[in-house]
Structure 1
Amino acid sequence: MDQPGPTEWQAGPAVGVGPWQTDRDGPLPTDPRYDADLLAEGDTRNVVDAYRYWTREAIVADIDTRRHPFHVAIENFAHDANIGTVVRTANAFAAAAVHIVGRRRWNRRGAMVTDRYQHLLHHDSIAELFDWAHREGLAVVAVDNTPGAQRLEAAELPRRCVLLFGQEGPGVSDDAQRHADLTVSIAQFGSTRSVNAGVAAGITMHAWIQQHADLDRAW
């Protein structure tokens, strides 16, 4: 059974649903997508109500039928703590996959167990990521506030693309900037040099959703 992990439980009021009750919920489901243990014990996982009591495999399979053709990549050469947030947001927007570039290890706490439902790939270097993207016919869009970058708010994002984010602090690496098909920046109006990498990823993914997603299919 896909038991919830320690970080999947929420503080405060109980979330999710309790055991299936035939007098309240109707006959016990026989659909193979349902998990017998979750039906018996309840489901407090961090999933939308439509997936309550489903197995993890069934949830992933269903999302796979609706994933969007954009990928998300984040550089992890200094063990960036924002990766969990990026993964969680990519899951919310049904990204095709999240690519970790550099170190394989990353802090999963911020993902809130959504990494169980999101495809994750690893690349040792930026060159390896670009080789993969070009083989797949995907444009690479670097997100950084560097000179010459187009404003995200006015840019037309490719439908099939990799949205690439740098590490907190240094931003997108020089190699990535040189080889990106497009570089976009997020409009800022305050004193900070850059917004948090996890926040930047969320803003950019939502910009892609606004331009390309079928909103009638959203929850």
Structure 2
Amino acid sequence: MPHGPPEVGVGPWEGPRPSGPGSEVYDEELLATGDRRNVVDRYRYWSMDAIVADLDTRRHGFHVAIENWQHDFNIGTIVRSANAFLAAEVHIVGNRRWNRRGAMVTDRYQHVRHHPTVAELHAHLAEIGVPLLGIDNLPGSAHLETMDLPERVCFLFGQEGPGLSEAAREACDGTFSIAQFGSTRSINASAAAAIAMHSWVRQHADLGGDEAWRG
């Protein structure tokens, strides 16, 4: 193929099967048939449960929440970015069902919690000491580029187009906006979410080791 390898991942395990301490992470079926999943090389042949357990030892202090009133296709993409940046949890507010296509199966490795209303999301976060910050270019919003983000925080994103609902604006402990310089009123919701998560990573994540740069 002219644009990369013909297949993603690796084929069946070659040589003796892994044994001894640590071998419990491997999945026998994947060892036998190969691992073509969208996971980093470290997790090749690992079972899904083993991957989630390992991620749980390193998850970051930020959460991501998305309002889901219109079955927004951006939700799946936001979940995928939350997995990439290792969010503590993703919260779906509103309709329980959401479009998983953009998640590219990453929702299997990411904790996803449902809340019927924003008020219930806010109450849950208050119990665990996590403030709720909405993203919308509203009057009085703090500037993401110059603000100090809390180490424990939940970013709330509204639907593509209308932005945060009125109930969401009332429930938020604060709002922030992303600097824009062109003619469009707003940027794509999944792009805004990725920018917010990466801003948290730049301020709080450990970028000193190889863990941050694996692909």
TM-score range, shorter chain: over 0.9
Q: TM-score, normalised by structure 2?
A: 0.93
Deviation at residue 171 of structure 1 after TM alignment? 0.4
| Residue in structure 1 matching 2:18, options 29, 45, 50 | 29
Indicate the residue corresponding to 1:3 in structure 2.
Answer: none
Q: Distance in 2 between matches of 1:172 and 1:145?
A: 10
Q: Distance in 2 between matches of 1:156 and 1:13?
A: 44
Superposed CA RMSD: 1.2
- Secondary structure of 2:125 counterpart: helix
Q: TM-score, normalised by structure 1?
A: 0.91
Indicate the residue corresponding to 2:101 in structure 1.
Answer: 109
Question: Does residue 14 of structure 1 match 2:7?
Answer: yes
- Secondary structure of 1:45 counterpart: coil
Cα deviation per residue 1:84-107 (whole Å; 9 max; x = unaligned)?
Answer: 000000000110110000001111
- Unaligned 5+ runs, structure 1: 1-10
- Secondary structure of 1:162 counterpart: strand
Indicate the residue corresponding to 2:162 in structure 1.
Answer: 170
Asked if structure 1 preserves the Cα contact closer than 8 Å seen for 2:118 and 2:171, the reply is no
**Mapping of 1:94-173 within 5 angstroms?**
94-173=86-165
Q: Distance in 2 between matches of 1:191 and 1:104?
A: 35
Runs of 4+ with deviation above 3 angstroms: none
Deviation at residue 179 of structure 1 after TM alignment? 2.8
Q: Distance in 2 between matches of 1:79 and 1:12?
A: 35
Q: Distance in 2 between matches of 1:120 and 1:180?
A: 20
- Secondary structure of 2:25 counterpart: coil
Indicate the residue corresponding to 2:193 in structure 1.
Answer: 201
Q: Distance in 2 between matches of 1:46 and 1:179?
A: 36
Q: Distance in 1 between matches of 2:174 and 2:88?
A: 19
Report which stretch shifted further, 183-192 or 11-20: 11-20
- Unaligned 5+ runs, structure 2: none
Q: Distance in 2 between matches of 1:13 and 1:208?
A: 36
Deviation at residue 78 of structure 1 after TM alignment? 1.3
